[in-house]
Structure 1
């Protein structure tokens, strides 16, 4: 990272001797490889080090942030999964009709639009310019649970759900179309079974199977995408903490946050592989 954390802590009027002494106290005068090895050795024992900016233990600073991000992600996934199923099912049933074409056009626009642009439009529409019915930022007082302030969660959740449903529902739609064109479904139609029974008893279980691993991947991407969303809405999660740490050259905070996000991403990807393997075995 450009810049020097010692200059940031001491200010522009610090002398070269003061900067050198602080770098030595913080261990920043050591080679990068040595700094990384010391950090990794401490992490393996549960010590993530202290923040270079505040001096507090990183684990204490991140505990509430991790909880807030996990809460936001869980709520988003609880909304994304059933909505993706519903939207994908409707698009498949009304394939090539006005509803399906409108959905495909809208999903194409959403997919091609960066998250921060969608978030900025949502803020302008509902928070600052047009309707002004929701708080433009999602500030939550320290010590409070996110669900104690539901209005602050609406806009970041709306962006995360919109992006997630757009991605996952397209996969559900394709799966449903493949199942509806299969021989056993066509045979059920010839036998005169009701469309409701065909959809929910015969098509749904088989259409969901390929989408379950994709849902795990979607959860991983939701965690990764939370950095932009949290920073944009000033939500007190690990995403906004990462941006603040980068701005403050707080290397221990940056290392800890990236490690946590990488572990979560890895776990969800492994879960997707396991679910995909189980699906193939069936």
Structure 2
């Protein structure tokens, strides 16, 4: 990482001796491999170290941030799953019609647009330029739960849900189309069963099974994508904490956040593999 955290802490007027002394006190004069080994050894004992900027324990600084990010992710997934199912089902039932074509065109545009561009458009539309009905940033006072300030959650959730539904509903649509074209569904149609019964009793369980592992992967990508969204909306989660830590050259904070995000990403991917294996065994 370019720059020196000692210069940032001491300021531009610090002497070379002061910088060298602070580097020694912080252990930054040691080789990188030695620093990494010391950090990893401490992490395995539950000690993530202290922030180089504030001097406070990293675990204390991240506790509330993790809770805020987890809250945002859980609410987003609760909204993404049923909406993806509904949108994918409608697109499959009205395949190649105006509704389906409009959906495919819109989803293609959303998929090709970076999250920060979508977020900036949402801020301009609802927060600063056009309607001005929502706060442009999602600042939450320390100690308050995110759901105590629902208006601050609307725009970041809107971006996360829009991106998530666009991805997952396409998979649901493909699954539904495959099921609707299967022989047993065609036989049910010939027998005169109602389309409602065919969709919800026969097609839905079989189309939903391949989408469940994808939902786990979607949760992992939601966590990874939260860095941009949280920073854009100034939401006090681990994503914005990571950006602040990089700007302040706070290496222990950076290492802890990346490790936590990697563990979460790994767990959700493993869950997707397990669910996929169970689905194949059925």
**What is the CA–CA distance in structure 2 between the aligned matches of 1:76 and 1:209, rounded to whole Å?**
21
Q: Deviations over 1:125-151 (max 9, x none)?
A: 000000000000000000000000000
**What is the CA–CA distance in structure 2 between the aligned matches of 1:24 and 1:4, rounded to whole Å?**
13
**What is the CA–CA distance in structure 1 between the aligned matches of 2:58 and 2:32, rounded to whole Å?**
19
Q: Deviations over 1:27-47 (max 9, x none)?
A: 000000000000000000000
What SS is found at the alignment partner of 1:64?
helix
Q: Deviations over 1:156-198 (max 9, x none)?
A: 0000000000000000000000000000000000000000000
What SS is found at the alignment partner of 2:169?
helix
What SS is found at the alignment partner of 1:123?
helix
Report runs of 4+ in structure 1 exceeding 4 Å deviation: none
1:226 matched to which residue of 2?
226
CA positional deviation for 1:4: 0.3
1:248 has 2:248 as partner = yes
Structure 1, unmatched stretches of 5+, are none
**What is the CA–CA distance in structure 2 between the aligned matches of 1:199 and 1:14, rounded to whole Å?**
71
**What is the CA–CA distance in structure 1 between the aligned matches of 2:264 and 2:278, rounded to whole Å?**
21
Structure 2, unmatched stretches of 5+, are none
**What is the CA–CA distance in structure 2 between the aligned matches of 1:57 and 1:268, rounded to whole Å?**
27
**What is the CA–CA distance in structure 1 between the aligned matches of 2:113 and 2:184, rounded to whole Å?**
39
CA positional deviation for 1:199: 0.0
CA positional deviation for 1:85: 0.0
**What is the CA–CA distance in structure 2 between the aligned matches of 1:29 and 1:63, rounded to whole Å?**
29
After TM superposition, the score normalised by the length of structure 2 is 1.00
1:160 matched to which residue of 2?
160
CA positional deviation for 1:65: 0.1
**What is the CA–CA distance in structure 1 between the aligned matches of 2:230 and 2:2, rounded to whole Å?**
24
What SS is found at the alignment partner of 2:56?
coil
How many residue pairs end up in the alignment? 282
C-alpha RMSD of matched pairs (Å):
0.2
**What is the CA–CA distance in structure 2 between the aligned matches of 1:59 and 1:32, rounded to whole Å?**
22
What SS is found at the alignment partner of 2:14?
coil
Q: Deviations over 1:229-282 (max 9, x none)?
A: 000000000000000000000000000000000000000000000000000000
CA positional deviation for 1:210: 0.5
Q: Deviations over 1:30-87 (max 9, x none)?
A: 0000000000000000000000000000000000000000000000000000000000
CA positional deviation for 1:91: 0.1
2:66 matched to which residue of 1?
66
